Structure 1
Amino acid sequence: MAGTVMLAYYFEYTDTFNVHVQGFFCYDNSYTKPYLGPEETSAIPPALLYTLVAGVPTLVITVTEAVLFLMLYTSKDPDSRRKTIVTGDCCYLNPVVRRTFRFLGVYVFGLFTTDIFVNAGQVVTGNLAPHFLTVCKPNYTALGCQQALRYISHQEACTGNEDDILRARKTFPSKEAALSVYAALYLAMYITCSVRARGTRLAKPVMALGLMCLAFLTGLNRVAEYRNHWSDVIAGFIIGVAIATFLVVCVVHNFKGTVLLSEDPQQESVSSGAMMSMPRVESPLEKYMASQVRANHVHSI
């Protein structure tokens, strides 16, 4: 995690990695779109996007895990209560704390990984924004652009603001699209896999599709404001979806646990040992539902 954070920092705030200087053709219509101002004036400014991407999943996962644990704790099944504490060699670790930190840790790792992939693509390609020539302000007469097919490749061709020109050279893939779809997909799969309460059969897909819709609107806004091409947004979507899917399926295993419930004290001790050796813990709601099914069965007998 520390290495990932440091690499993301070097990409974002240092000039360790130089952006590839990509040339352009004189009067190329693909790069003459109007410049609508800095990123802070966008309909979805970076501060708002980063706050939502970092805050909403953290809040939803923390609250959901706390609610699931409370449902388990208030259960009348003493066997379920006895398994709510994971015993280690030197400490007592609450399962809800363990699960919450694991899910949030993987999520934060994925955020920085997505940022690294996006920054690496932007640095290597140096793809030009739709408004590049507007901020570049090339002197066409000095460059000899009597013909539109003349290709300009040297960096000194631009006379505009250097910071605006540098940002206009870093558009592929779209960072906003990648981060938004990663956060939306991770949270949608968490809600779908973890929440198994009654009455949520329709609520869960509605929430998941709503999150994905917001991510799509973020990419659409980038194109509408001439800050990214469609290819930049699609590439960002692919990166975000790929990283979120990999982490959920292969790292946190669809947010499911493996702890077994048993009436045999011997098997219970074996399960407790396995609990500490395995990196996954069963969802508290799954324990609660299993205890309710077992209690109903005993009552019917």
Structure 2
Amino acid sequence: MQKLNSSGTHCNTQPRDAELQLRLADSGGAGEGRENGAGRQFLPRTQEGGSVCTKRKMLVGLDVICLCVASIPFFACELKAVTPYKRGFFCGDTTITYPIVEREAITDTLLIAGGIAITGLTIALGECYRVHFLGISSRAFVQNRYVSCLYKELGSFLFGCCVCQSLTNMAKLSVGRLRPNFLTVCNITYASINCTPGNYISEVNCKQPDDKQVEEARKSFFSGHASFAMYTMLYLAFYLQARLSWRGARLVRPLVQFFLVMLAIYTGLSRISEYRHHPTDVLTGFIQGGLTAYWVAFYISSMFKPYTRPDLSPTSTSLESPLSSQQTVC
């Protein structure tokens, strides 16, 4: 009789233990464990996903704030909130006596609209192609893969635009170098101010009634056209190097990149022929724009970040193979 009771008790206990383990397994599958004073508790996955989503939204907001902060020097100069440094000149200096050329080959509006439109549109089309045909996926909280990939690539490009122009305007305001046509804009001559050749003139009263033109004539260093054109065109050349992987003619991509860089160089050289910048201003603009494009493309953007396919070894990774949505992350 005792054996029956003990065996019966054993048989009744085993299903209960199995049921208890099943409940614990179900609770573990529905959330993550958290250890506290009351024992092990389980959080629903909906709460976990909601906290991650909120954190990522905060990071996106932080990106927007960083973009606005990077553009403060640019808007401070464009809105005339800060006046440029009033630098003097040496009497008899012929580098600031050039005439005014009214016609501009590349206007400010054409420069900004063209640079942003050409590069931005190419990046947008390239990312949409990758998402649609190559199945690019994203780990962002935004479910739309197009929006996620465009946010990452266009956001990096626009951040570089803000940094590039802010550095340019900061230099213009702090240096205050006189443009080649300064005396003509100021409406004076060396004879009219009765100066001795070689003497330094710290202050001069311009006869130009428009003070805004005089302030613009003090913003020669360095060329904003050269820096912005070089940044946008070189950045687009980097993007084509990373994304354009057509196996056809080998010289198509280098030819397009050559025309982009040539367009940027032409933009800078036109500022010299129009007597708006000195050659060293344009050269410095080229260097600054090129360095900014390199920095953003290789250290901020994800275009050159390597990825590995699960079905290939690391040595056989290729950017030219179509990948599924589970293999490539933008």
| TM-score w.r.t. length of structure 2 | 0.70
Across the aligned residues of Structure 1 and Structure 2, the Cα RMSD in angstroms comes to: 2.5
Q: Which residue of 2 aligns with 1:138?
A: 188
Q: 1:229 to 1:85 in 2, by over 3 A?
A: closer
Q: Which residue of 2 aligns with 1:120?
A: 170
- Residues 141-162 of structure 1 deviation map (CA, whole Å, 9 limit, x = unaligned): 67432x22232111x4221132
Q: 1:165 to 1:68 in 2, by over 3 A?
A: same
What are the equivalent positions in structure 2 for 1:197-276 lying under 5 Å apart? 197-258=246-307, 260-262=309-311
Q: Which residue of 2 aligns with 1:101?
A: 151
1:92 aligns to 2:143 (yes or no): yes
**d(CA) in 2 for partners of 1:200 and 1:98?**
32
**d(CA) in 2 for partners of 1:289 and 1:201?**
23
Q: 1:136 to 1:144 in 2, by over 3 A?
A: same
Q: Quick check: 2:131–2:137 contact (8 Å CA) kept in 1?
A: no
Q: Quick check: 1:137–1:158 contact (8 Å CA) kept in 2?
A: yes
Q: Which residue of 1 aligns with 2:86?
A: 21
Q: Which residue of 1 aligns with 2:205?
A: 157
**d(CA) in 2 for partners of 1:2 and 1:261?**
39
What is the deviation of 1:21? 0.7
1:4 aligns to 2:54 (yes or no): no
Report the AA paired with residue 176 of structure 1: H
**d(CA) in 1 for partners of 2:121 and 2:142?**
26
**d(CA) in 1 for partners of 2:189 and 2:180?**
18
Report the AA paired with residue 22 of structure 1: R
What is the deviation of 1:92? 2.4
Report the AA paired with residue 149 of structure 2: R
Structure with the higher fraction of residues in helix conformation: 1
What is the deviation of 1:213? 0.2
SS at match of 1:288: coil
Q: 1:257 to 1:168 in 2, by over 3 A?
A: same
Q: Quick check: 2:83–2:215 contact (8 Å CA) kept in 1?
A: no
Q: Quick check: 1:5–1:112 contact (8 Å CA) kept in 2?
A: yes
Relative contact order, higher structure (CA 8 A, sep 6+)? 1
What is the deviation of 1:45? 1.1
Q: 1:217 to 1:122 in 2, by over 3 A?
A: same
What is the deviation of 1:253? 4.7
Q: 1:191 aligns with which of 240, 252, 262?
A: 240
**d(CA) in 2 for partners of 1:172 and 1:71?**
46
Report the AA paired with residue 205 of structure 2: A
SS at match of 2:134: helix
**d(CA) in 1 for partners of 2:98 and 2:124?**
43
Provide the aligned length of Structure 1 versus Structure 2: 254
Q: Quick check: 1:139–1:159 contact (8 Å CA) kept in 2?
A: no
Q: 1:141 to 1:34 in 2, by over 3 A?
A: closer
Please, which runs of 5 or more residues in structure 2 have no aligned partner? 1-66, 326-330
Quick one: percent identity of the two aligned structures? 30
What is the deviation of 1:20? 0.9
SS at match of 1:129: coil
**d(CA) in 1 for partners of 2:108 and 2:80?**
19
**d(CA) in 1 for partners of 2:242 and 2:166?**
28
Report the AA paired with residue 43 of structure 1: A
**d(CA) in 2 for partners of 1:33 and 1:7?**
29
Please, which runs of 5 or more residues in structure 1 have no aligned partner? 74-83, 264-281, 292-301
